[in-house]
């Protein structure tokens, strides 16, 4: 496993999320829940249900059929950047996680949205049934299928991103194709991933 920093964009269109609600996800320790959990009656889920819903088929639907499956997905898309290799020009093109997340959150500057910055644990190999680790679906050495969304640099978390893994949230205003940073809230409960790195200090 390795630790991956990410940016998660959440839309503020039509009151889906406002600045107070974005901060409350961190202040009250709720973190970011998947749509399946948020939309479940009573918001109660069980380990057995989690095991049943974390499948490769559902991951593929999350990526390629989000219009129909998004409200019930157990997965959470975050952006971590991507590199495209142009063999014709012998160049690499870097796609920014921040730009990808901001475009998603604001619909390319058409409305406001929130950006959450944090970290997740990522498996080195496909591990869809394991909710504790995210999937690096941007990596073509792991996920070989061609995808029109590969350059979004997606890492796919599962079920829940804990609030203490989110360092801060920003609120961006979007209007007429332009975005402006309006506010920022550092998470007082953030825990850096230092305790789980494989480096031990001398004593």
The per-residue pLDDT for 149 is 78
DSSP letter string, 92-129: EEEE-HHHHHHHHHHTTTTS-EEEEEEEEEE-SS--TT
The parts of the chain modelled with pLDDT lower than 70 are none
* CATH numbers and ranges of domains, the chain: 2-196 (3.90.210)
What whole-number distance in Å separates Cα of residue 98 and Cα of residue 167? Answer: 15
Whether the CB-CB separation of 89 and 101 falls below 8 Å is answered with no
What whole-number distance in Å separates Cα of residue 110 and Cα of residue 100? Answer: 14
Provide the whole-model pTM.
0.93
Three-class SS of residue 90?
A: coil
The per-residue pLDDT for 176 is 85
The per-residue pLDDT for 144 is 79
The per-residue pLDDT for 173 is 95
The per-residue pLDDT for 180 is 94
The per-residue pLDDT for 26 is 97
Whether the CB-CB separation of 115 and 96 falls below 8 Å is answered with no
H helices of the chain, where? 19-27, 35-39, 47-53, 56-64, 66-69, 97-106
pLDDT digits (tens, 9 = 90+) for 110-167: 999 999 999 999 999 999 999 999 999 998 888 878 788 787 889 999 999 999 999 9
The per-residue pLDDT for 86 is 85
């Amino acid at each position: 496993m390795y630790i991956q920093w990410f940016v998660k964009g959440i839309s503020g269109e039509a009151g889906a999320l406002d600045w107070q609600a974005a901060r409350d996800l961190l202040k009250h320790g709720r973190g970011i829940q998947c749509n399946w959990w948020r939309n479940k009656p009573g918001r109660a889920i069980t380990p057995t249900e989690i095991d049943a819903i974390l499948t490769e088929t559902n991951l593929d639907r999350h990526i390629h059929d989000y219009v129909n499956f998004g409200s019930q997905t157990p997965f959470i898309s975050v952006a971590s950047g991507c590199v495209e290799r142009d063999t014709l020009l012998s160049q690499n093109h870097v796609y920014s996680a921040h730009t990808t997340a901001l475009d998603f959150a604001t619909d390319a500057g058409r409305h406001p949205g929130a950006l959450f910055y944090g970290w997740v644990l990522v498996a080195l190999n496909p591990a869809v049934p394991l909710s504790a680790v995210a999937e690096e679906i941007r990596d073509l050495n792991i996920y070989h299928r061609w995808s029109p969304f590969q350059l979004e640099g997606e890492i796919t978390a599962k079920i829940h991103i804990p609030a203490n893994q989110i360092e801060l949230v920003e609120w961006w205003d979007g209007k007429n194709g332009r975005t402006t940073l309006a506010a920022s809230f550092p998470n007082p409960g953030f825990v850096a991933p230092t305790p789980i790195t494989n480096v031990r200090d001398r004593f």
